[in-house]
Structure 1
């Protein structure tokens, strides 16, 4: 496995991206099921006379991380109550469905397939039209910009120890290199190959095209001040060592044309419309049902 270039800040958050159609919860994960909290002391959960077993709620908790046990328990109980409500309606209407595989190859359970088939039959949200997509695009242009990129190279001089003397020696070496190469790109590349302790040394120190925020903060700040095609005369210290920086070029972000993103916008708006319609459908079922122990709020949607 190749070593991560030391200048990259792996703790930096990723650049923002346009929301996808699968940003809702319910994809599993959560706390270790062996560490489930004990059931809170409230009454049972019953949907049209059918009790949701406490053991089933305890099992479901792992999919509903929450700040405390009682909240997690209530969210798990609500999710199972919605599921039971939909299964009862599917049986009433005679709806059945065969399990399908998702994109990861995971096969639905029989009950999941029935719920999906019911919602596909009963929920028919309006599709987003071109006017709606265009309105969303015009109101969120910042979401459809490519990131600003920096084409960067560096020479990393590591301190040969943790004490001040080691760091001072590394700084002297970095300053001497910066002074000798000046603004000579060929000299920079040769020095990177000879002196840099970063894995990018064999690439003349090149880090390629970097987004803002992907470099450690001190290096990013120094890079922002460099004109294109220049080498920083002052080395920059980070927790990894001293860096001599070269900014090859800065690539400004640009707004993607509407035609390029229209399909993605439509998919997102359609997914949002479906979620709202499904929540309303579930709330209508809940209003007609006899449910004890939980409140099914139409704002919560399908669990």
Structure 2
């Protein structure tokens, strides 16, 4: 039989899994064994396939609308055969139908809640301001380092620097850090949390332009640090992080709604209990 080619078969399968309403309308695609196949059924599936593809950044190829119609008619043929064999009367079918009914209703419940409890721009601004206030209390450091394996090599480099050696040139020729050696040991701007504790502790004790008096040992080897500058932590503009904040707040509201329903329900069931 002819079904959807990958990857559009996956898109179609996802749309079909959501369930289809089939209102009885006069406009039909065709009839199968005398039973009409409503065009509205294909229209709804097409819209779901289209929406699913857009979500995944895909384009609907030419001919998709016809493929949807073909699929709808094929499904009617198969459904009629399943009904002729009496499969809807089986216990397994009834269980699966109940699970599908529940899934659709739960999806619609949460969709309805989100529509009626949308996140306002004021909510997003307040959350952004809260994060920003926390971030500005932190500092970022622009530091260079030279990494070597042996302590004696680190001490030798420290002596060279104290004698007037050029930090950037020594880093380029001696540092074992592949990410920063070519840049003269430059690690760019970062907060203390970006580094291992030994490194961060030594870095935050330095003054601008100062180099560590003694090498610093970490799990990576021996470091010589030079602090170039310090600034308040930079925070991205609201426009850049608005979608993430909105999604976070939506998830929080939805989680609170789920928790509320669970608490209000009258049941002696113990969630998460192995004894159930």
TM-score (norm 2): 0.50
| Structure number with higher relative contact order (C-alpha < 8 Å, ≥ 6 residues apart) | 1
Higher Cα Rg: structure 1 or 2? Answer: 2
More helix by share: 2
TM-score, reference length from structure 1: 0.46
